[in-house]
A and B are shown apart, each in its own frame.
Chain A
Amino acid sequence: MTPDRDAQAAPRRLRSVVRAMIWATVPVLLLVQLLASAGVEATSFWSQIRQLDARIARTAESRAELIAEPLWKMRYDQVTGVLNEIMHDETIAAAAVYDDTGAAIARVVARPSDQVAEISRPIRYSNGNIAVQAGRIAIAYSYAPVYADTGGRLMLLLVVGVLATLATVVALRISANIFIGKPLAAIMSAIQRSKQDGRAYPAEISSPNEFGQLAQAFNAMQHTTSGALDRLGHMASHDPLTGLPNRRSLSERLVTLSGDAGSPDSLIAFCFIDLDDFKGINDTFGHDAGDRFLVHISERLREAVEPQDWVARLGGDEFVVIRPEVSNAAAAQAFARELLDAISEPIRLHDKQVAPRASIGLAVRRAGDPELSHLPALADIALYHAKSKAPGTVAVLDEALQRDYRRRRDLELAIPAGFAEGQFEVWYQGQIDLESQGVVGLEALIRWRHPEHGVIGPGEFLPLVERSGNNARLTRYVLTDACRALQHLAAAGRPDIRIAINLPPSELADHSLAAELRATCARFDVAASSLELEITEGSLINNIASASETLQRLRRLGATIALDDFGTGYSSLAHLRRFPLDRVKIDKAFISEIPDSAEDKAIVGVIASLAGTLGLTLVAEGIERAEQAAAMREMGVTLGQGYLYHRPQPLRDVLQWLEGQAVPESRVVAESPSIAPEFAA
């Protein structure tokens, strides 16, 4: 929106060069004209003033000549007559003749005037015998006519100047429009058209002047630009490695998809393909080989599809195949499976056979579906399901998947609110000394009391918490709650009960965990030795050095370290030896079939004997029946946990439950090997 507005605002701010020229020229033109006129007029004015002075002087002199005789001969009536004659001159305001005694002989006042100059000339009389000054003539005259004349001409010059300027403006405008405006408009229009559809339009100017040259240069540039644009366009919409259309093309493709389909009811199959463990191939064979691998895959996909199908690489190991018309959902699934088969053909990389494996999320929609643009997201939901539940298969998007997806989305979005509103609750499940049947510990288990979805188990929301980067926060939440619970337990007279906390893998890499744990314990005045930290084998493997260091620190504080879910993952015996562990919790998968499954009994037996050798305390999880408990006891498992004894409960309920339990003998605590003297400090 903003760039659009800018693009529209720009032409509005634009001031045409023609107008700018006129604005730049006209004031100067007008000023020069006016100044020149004023200058000329001023010169003319002074010249007129001088001429008037001269004329009046001449008049005075000529009148003096005419008057000399009648004045000398005392024909004063004639003097007055001569004087009166000059009054026809409208510049003359008054005139007077004085005789040789200075007496005014004749005086004529024609018109009163303000701007009056006066000139006086002697009147000399001479005849054959004498030459005398008979008197003098004085003439007062006005500059008013000159002023009026000059004013009038100035006004005229002003009008003429303005008219001339106007004419110049018009001429300038017309010629500038023809010689500048039109060529510019032609080039501008070519640019606009080129902008609209991306093709290079030439500006049609044939004049031989600078604009003609400009247009030629512009057209040449358009030509080169169009080639570059084509290449850019292809690059922008295609993956350079495989030559397949890219994610951007997918967006465009989605827009035109419904139009390409035959009818609104025809079905579109959208396959979202993700290679499984492509990272492993990259790590194993190097990135060049990885790239070759991707090219192979893309070629296979190309070969596997029909001409009407469309294949794109979205980036990394993600591909999309769209079949614009399938008969039904089954056909779409068959098509997807064909694709999987094509991918799965072994490939030789560095003389080694590699069997590619991929998961496909399939979404099928009607061409008339208004949410066609959501197809990638929908297929991605299915793909997520496939990858998490059954990698290397095709998952078809159905209602359930969508529901799951929406629930996940909801929960993920609700995590911050969950923290803020205290929706996360810590429940506790008791750990029982299988020998004494006394409660020796509690495992802190997180629950989410969601306002809409009710109480949610950690299996569902922990991955979401981890994905949203809230692991540390949740861990500290649990830690704090556990410390508070220890306080309550101590208050209830059961300071002997320990509380176990699950540490997610990311926490093991956090060096500040140990310090925080100590601070929290100090805050609640509980001993760190009352805390047990449960970790999984997976979290150890990912970061062996860091995890080992963190564990050492925690153990030095006095906390007990337990390896959770042992037996399901690597079950590495080396791990048991290398890491500072106190306890091993046998996964409930091995317990559930006991005592019926001889195999499970054998495995548990081996683990138990191994733990015994390594000095590790064993905990059996998921004990639901008494005979399971008995079997465990027989095999040397010390502690048990499960519904047989206690279901997880909020602390309040746990405290009540504990009241009904017998206090175990202190022996159990004393026997705990976790409190090794060398680590207690």
Chain B
Amino acid sequence: MTIFLRIWLAAGMACAVLAPPGHIVAADAKALNIVFVSPGKTGEVYWDMVAQTMQAAGRKLDAHVEVLTSERNYRIMQELGYGVVARADKPDFLILSNEESAAVPILEAAEAAGVKTLLLSNTLIGEDAKRLGPPRAKLATWLGDITTDLQTAGARMANALIATARAEKWQSPDGKIHILGIGGDEITPASIARNAGLKLAVDAAPDVVVDRMLYANWTQSEAEQVTANYLSWAARKEIRPAGVWAGNDPMALGALRAITAAGLVPGRNIEVVGLNWSEDALREIKAGRLLLSDGGHFLLGGWSIVLLRDYADGCDFADASPRVEARTSAITRDNLASVGDLIKTRRFDRIDFTRFRAKAGRCGRYDFSLDALISSLARADGAGE
């Protein structure tokens, strides 16, 4: 606790001292009361990190972020949501993630209660999207959503894989580069987008074939299993597997294990790419076994607080679009050093979220890139440590 307090104080001092004059943090602006109902489990890396960045941003932007965890139970999530909406002392904003479309009833309840909502990571899809339309249409209190462009991420990952394979000439006897795709699932938008990115990239490369698109339920063990199955199948088909595209890091790690077990050396005669910026993945990148890990979307938590702070302060992000898309970035051996530590230590207070706020007159225009992040850290690093 003392450490935490010290960090908090240091960050606060740093902010106060180093706040550029252009940045408006109105002294009279009131503190925001924000509640985040997390769909994830306690200990689930991504959602933990989302909540942590949210809270770190809140501390920077005078917002109190209350995190409620639904433990991967959508009924609990809905009950928590209803509870929040029904509170006498209603929060200023309620952040939800529409996983499995479970957030829709909460959105509607919030509309009825007049609680403003923001969807994070997963927005409305399918029937719900048609029925309720865009943000602030039927549901006036639904301010918008902030998501990441995971399709681009998927394509980026694939392209990196293809470039390496081409460079190393890992073609099979048929002259093609054979790749295995491992997706998390086939129904969640987050998964579909990544997979679509892979397809997009491969479609653009006539010398590349995705032998299989396998699904491993986001888990390492299942990914290891299907990768093993794929490798033995490929051996029987006399295919030289050039790379494994994994929809997230755990699955990439599972693929690594299977590859190793099959007698191949990842990084030398086969490449694997993942997504999520997980600690283990970064370790494998450092070891040269994993080509890259795309990601950074946990930062959506922080970015969402930035959006709501701006909104509360009158700079509505909807001026550009109520739908904010934050790009992800790949961590490779090249840039691992810059962000590796941040992720490993989860010292998100090192991030100067105030630097990401919209400039006056440019409401809704944000630069949430890795470079911007790195630059926001660089000084903090020097100052903080």
Binding site for B on A (CB under 8 A): 72-77, 99-101, 103
Contacts and interface: CB of A to CB of B under 8 A. Distances in A.
Contact of B225 (A72, A77, A99, A103): A77
In this complex, the interface size class of chain B, counting residues with CB under 8 Å from chain A, is 10 to 19
Contacts of B212: 72-74
Interface string B228-252: 0110110011000000000000000
B226 interface: yes
Given A73-B212, A73-B213, A74-B212, 11 more contacts: A73-B214, A73-B226, A74-B230, A75-B226, A76-B225, A76-B229, A77-B225, A100-B237, A101-B237, A103-B232, A103-B236
Contacts of B230: 74
Chief secondary structure at chain A's binding surface:
loop
Contacts of A77: 225
Interface string B316-334: 0000000000000000000
Interface in B273-321: none
Interface string B25-63: 000000000000000000000000000000000000000
B215 interface: yes
Interface in B185-236: 212-215, 222, 225-226, 229-230, 232-233, 236
A440 B380 CA distance: 206
- Which one of A73, A74, A100 has the greatest number of beta carbons of chain B within 10 Å? A74
Chief secondary structure at chain B's binding surface:
helix
A249 to B, nearest CB: 124
Contacts of A72: 212
Contact of B215 (A73, A99, A101, A103): A73
Contacts of B215: 73, 75
A432 B222 CA distance: 169
A164 to B, nearest CB: 62
B237 A74 contact: no
Interface in B132-152: none
Nearest to A105: B229
A74 B236 contact: no
B357 to A, nearest CB: 42
Contacts of A73: 212-215, 226
Nearest to A129: B199
A243 B229 CA distance: 131
A72 B180 CA distance: 12
A99 B233 contact: yes
- Which one of A73, A75, A76, A101 has the greatest number of beta carbons of chain B within 10 Å? A73
A72 B214 CA distance: 8
A103 B238 CA distance: 13
Contacts of A74: 212, 214, 225-226, 229-230, 233
B233 A101 contact: yes
A81 to B, nearest CB: 13
Q: Which 8 A-B pairs have the closest CB atoms?
A: A74-B229, A101-B236, A74-B226, A73-B214, A74-B214, A76-B229, A103-B236, A74-B230
Contacts of B214: 73-75
Contacts of A99: 233
15 contacts: A72-B212, A73-B214, A73-B215, A73-B226, A74-B212, A74-B225, A74-B230, A74-B233, A75-B215, A75-B226, A76-B225, A76-B229, A103-B232, A103-B233, A103-B236
A80 B373 CA distance: 48
A72 B212 CA distance: 8
Contacts of A76: 225, 229
A574 B214 CA distance: 164
A83 to B, nearest CB: 15
Contacts of B226: 73-75
Nearest to B180: A74
Contacts of A100: 237
Nearest to B215: A73
A518 B159 CA distance: 163
Nearest to A71: B229
Nearest to B183: A73
Contacts of B225: 74-77
Contacts of B236: 101, 103
